[in-house]
């Protein structure tokens, strides 16, 4: 799975180098055995971005760092390219991340699927494992959120699924990861809430194609089937 992510990262025209940051020797050995670059990091990190920052601290010649989750084997190289371009063009943004539409009501209800809401300029307002925005009137009509989504499938269009891609300005990444975890970050187990708690600007762009973060056995089966097809 990690090798698939590496290959897609290196297929992006504006990515010059791909490094796997890990605290697991099995991952390190598997990546290096295939000729890719990997770095062993400390095992104390609270989030992926904290682990990333350990590696980024040594990359003095780099201004932009892309953080890809190792469990996103379907990530589109074109999505990576657009996210990097967006950060370079947006002087206000400190982070660019991605989202996509939700096609299945079960994903709205799943705590493994992170939802994001933005302002009219595409800046993130909040990320949550809960269904946001909550369609209060529709739930009032039908009794439950699941019933509302089944009876009014158009409600799905109000939700956006956050996907595992971040593009950082390196200087901001090093500053952000020096901050203590926020209460919201600990409550939701979402590292990006640490940045939002300090009023950082996170731009959210649409992914070019659907991606699936592999968090469960069911996710793994879905991804394998999609790759076979």
- Inside any domain, residue 4: no
At 64 the pLDDT is 96
Structural domain total, the chain = 1
> Span 52-67, mean pLDDT?
94
The answer to whether position 96 is within a domain reads yes
Model confidence band, residue 133 (pLDDT cutoffs 50, 70, 90):
very high
User: Which pLDDT belongs to residue 188?
Assistant: 96
CATH of the domain at 150: 3.90.550.10
The 10 Å CB-count burial string (b at 16+, else e) for 147-158 is ebbeeeeebeeb
Q: Is the pLDDT of residue 212 over 80?
A: no
**Rounded CA separation 117/130 (Å):** 12
Mean per-residue pLDDT of the chain:
93
Q: Domain for residue 52, yes or no?
A: yes
Q: Which residue has the tokens 């299945």?
A: 104
Q: By residue range, what is the domain housing residue 204?
A: 48-228
Q: Do residues 126 and 132 make contact, with C-beta atoms less than 8 angstroms apart?
A: yes
pLDDT (tens digit, 9 = 90+) per residue, 1-50? 999 999 999 999 999 999 999 999 999 999 999 999 999 999 888 888 88
Note whether residue 85 is domain-resident. Answer: yes
Cis peptide before 199 (omega within 30 of 0): no
pLDDT of amino acid 157: 95
80 neighbors 165 (Cβ within 8 angstroms): yes
For residue 125, being part of any structural domain is answered with yes
pLDDT digit string, tens, across residues 155-190: 999 999 998 799 999 999 999 999 999 999 999 999
Sign of CA dihedral 201, 63, 69, 189: negative
Rounded to whole angstroms, the Cα distance separating 57 from 68 reads: 17
**In-domain check, residue 25:** no
pLDDT for position 219? 85
CB neighbourhood size of 89 (10 A)? 10
pLDDT of residue 229: 85
The pLDDT value recorded for residue 84 is 97
Mean pLDDT of 68-88: 92
Q: pLDDT, tens digit, for every residue of 92-101?
A: 999 999 999 9
Q: Is residue 31 part of a domain?
A: no
Q: How far apart are CA 158 and CA 175, in angstroms?
A: 33
Please indicate, yes or no, if residue 197 is contained in any of the structural domains.
yes
**Model pLDDT for residues 38-50, shown as the tens digit of each residue:** 999 998 888 888 8
Taking the C-alpha atoms of residue 176 and residue 37, their distance in angstroms, rounded to an integer, is 25
Q: Give me the pLDDT at residue 160, please.
A: 96
């Amino acid at each position: 799975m990690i090798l698939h992510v590496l290959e897609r990262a290196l297929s992006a025209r504006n990515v010059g180098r791909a490094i796997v940051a890990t605290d697991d020797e099995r991952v390190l050995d598997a990546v290096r055995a295939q000729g890719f670059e990997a770095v062993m990091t400390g095992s104390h990190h609270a989030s992926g971005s904290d682990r990333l920052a350990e590696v980024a601290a040594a990359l003095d010649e780099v201004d932009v760092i892309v953080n890809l989750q190792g469990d996103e084997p379907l990530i589109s190289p074109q999505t990576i390219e657009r996210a990097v371009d967006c950060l370079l063009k947006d002087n206000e943004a400190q982070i660019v991340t991605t989202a996509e539409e939700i096609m299945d009501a079960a994903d709205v209800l799943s705590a493994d699927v992170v939802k994001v809401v933005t302002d009219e300029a595409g800046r993130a307002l909040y990320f949550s494992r809960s269904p946001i925005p909550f369609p209060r009137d529709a739930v009032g009509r039908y009794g439950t959120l699941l019933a509302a989504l089944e009876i009014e499938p158009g409600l799905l269009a109000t939700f956006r699924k956050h996907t595992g891609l971040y593009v950082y300005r390196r200087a901001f990444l090093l500053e952000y990861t020096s901050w203590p975890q926020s209460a919201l970050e600990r409550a939701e187990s979402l590292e990006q809430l640490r940045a939002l708690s300090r009023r950082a600007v996170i731009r959210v762009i649409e992914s070019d194609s659907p991606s699936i973060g592999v968090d469960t056995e069911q996710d793994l089966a879905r991804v394998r089937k999609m790759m076979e097809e």
